[in-house]
Each structure stands twice: as structure tokens, then as C-alpha cells.
Amino acid sequence: MTKALPDQRVVVTGGAGFLGSFVVEKLRARGVREIFIPRSREYDLVDIAGVRKLYDDARPDLVIHLAAQVGGIGANRKNPGKYFYDNLMMGVQLIEEGRRRGLAKLVAAGTICAYPKFAPVPFREEDLWNGYPEETNAPYGLAKKMLLVQSQAYRDQYGFNSVVVFPVNLYGPRDNFDLESSHVIPAMIRKIDSAVRAGAPEVVLWGDGTPTREFLYVEDAADGILAAVERYDGSEAINLGSGKEIAIRDLAQTIGSLMDYRGRFVYDTSKPNGQPRRQLSVERARNLLGWESKTSFEEGLKKTITWWKINQ
């Protein structure tokens, strides 16, 4: 019999980060008392010695693996080797060492970047292998997709209980607003805020504005992760998303309107667009997890903008 969640010792890698901090809060709200959050200065999860030290010190029943080396298009272009190696090694070693030690369950976050560049829209989990990912983030996406391969292989051979979910682009309070490594929503918010403060007549954005993206509010994503913890023991990939897409041009206009920006947006077409479209099928999450996103896009954007203005 699996222990009830409040009685489990839980490791949350990346628990001090953007998504992880909300997962930790929701675990505590569920009554979980023993939550171990490894910090990279003490536990280098790219190194097997750091992974073994983590298991020695935490003695977990459950591992929720959210730690990642991640960033926007620019960061992915600068760090393809690092993003591939670090993300691959963290996940592979956490699963292998967990198997060796009889870990009861591991839940890992994959990435929407694992999908083929021209996957049919909406992206269905069965299309994960029908093509190569978009080139600028393929190393990161493939490293994360290997967790699904490992999860399925280890369940088949060893009966190891692991789950891999695939969240779409996340946004919300506590996101990374560093323009060198941030994703599109925090980058836009910061650029537009700077333009408003300076009275600048234009904001320059990457690409031509035509690609579409789907976004999931971070607290909804945390609920999806915990739904996988509490309700699912299988190795089928599961998308976590809102099921709605928006063009980058429309996203800029929406954020600009919410921030009372009256200037124009200029698109730097010398910069890459990234994947042409992103929209997920979320039927499997509804059917297997009993989960769906709850936060409207406008509500989530308002909360994110408010957080940035208070905390910048």
C-alpha cells in the first residue's frame, strides 16, 4: 500500500524555482510535513555523486523532478550542449538511482519543446515521435523526451513507477524576467514596462509575430503536477495545457493594453520565430488526471504584471 501523501517524505527538485515553489506550497496545503528541496550548491544533480547524496540525505518516498536548465530562444541558441547534457543527466540519474533504491514513485516534468516542429495542431501525445523538434530548442526538448523513454522502459523491465507530464509554456508570478534567458511573456512585460516608464514610442520584439503559443498559468500547472502524483500510475505521456493558442502579435497587443502602453510594436525579423504553432490537446489530462486549467488568460496576465511591478 502506498502511503497517504501527508505521510510521505517528498523531494522536489527545483522546489525553490518558479513552478517548484508553487508545487511546494500546494504540498504543504495538503498536509505534507517532510519536503526536501535540494539546492544546487549542495546537490549537483548533473553529477551522480550529488544524486546519491540527495537520496542518502532525503530518503524520499516520492520525487517530483522539476529542476531544469531552461530559457527562451536566445538562451537555447547559446547553450545547446549544456541544456542537452545537464537536463539529460539530471533526469536519467534521478530515475536510475530511484530504481536502485526502491523509490515508490517519481513524477517528472517534460517540455512542450519535445514535440516535432510541424506536429499537427492540436499536439496529441501520440505525435511526440512524428518528427524532429524545432531546431533552436531541440537539444533541450530531446533531453527531456528521453525521460519518457526511460520511464516506459523502466516500468516494463523493473516495474518502476514513474510519470512524465508535458507542460506547455508557463507564466505567472515569480517567473524569470531576465531578458537574456526569459520566456516570451515575462520578456514582453519587462520590455513594455520599460517603454512605459521611458515614454518610448516602440518596443522591439523577436521574429515576425506570426507564431502562435499556448500558455498555462503556473498555479494551474502545479495542480496538474500534483494530480499526476495523486491520481496516475502509468507511463503514457500527458500534456498539461490550457488548450488555447494566441499569436505573438496578439499577445503583445493584449499585454500592451493591460499595461496601458500606447506605443507600437516593431518586429525584428532577423531573429528566429521558433516553432510555427503550439497548441495542445488536453483530453488525456482530463481523462486520466481529472485535471484542467482554471485561470483565464487575462486574469493570469494581470497577476503576473502586478507581481512584476511590485517585485522588480
Cell 491520481 sits on residue: 231
Separation of alpha carbons 110 and 77, rounded Å: 19
Separation of alpha carbons 5 and 259, rounded Å: 41
Separation of alpha carbons 154 and 88, rounded Å: 16
Continuous H helices in the chain: 18-29, 48-58, 73-78, 80-100, 138-158, 184-198, 218-231, 248-258, 283-284, 297-311
Whether 43 is catalytic? no
Cell 496576465 sits on residue: 301
Angle at 281 between CA 280 and CA 285, to 5 degrees: 110
Which residue of the set 43, 83, 115, 140 is catalytic? 140
φ and ψ at residue 11, rounded to 5 degrees: -100, 130
Bridge partner list, 206: 268
> Is there a contact between 156 and 201 (Cβ–Cβ < 8 Å)?
no
Cβ density class 193-209: b for 16+ within 10 Å, e for less: bebbeeeeeebebbbeb
Bridge partner list, 266: 204
Which residues are catalytically annotated?
Answer: 140
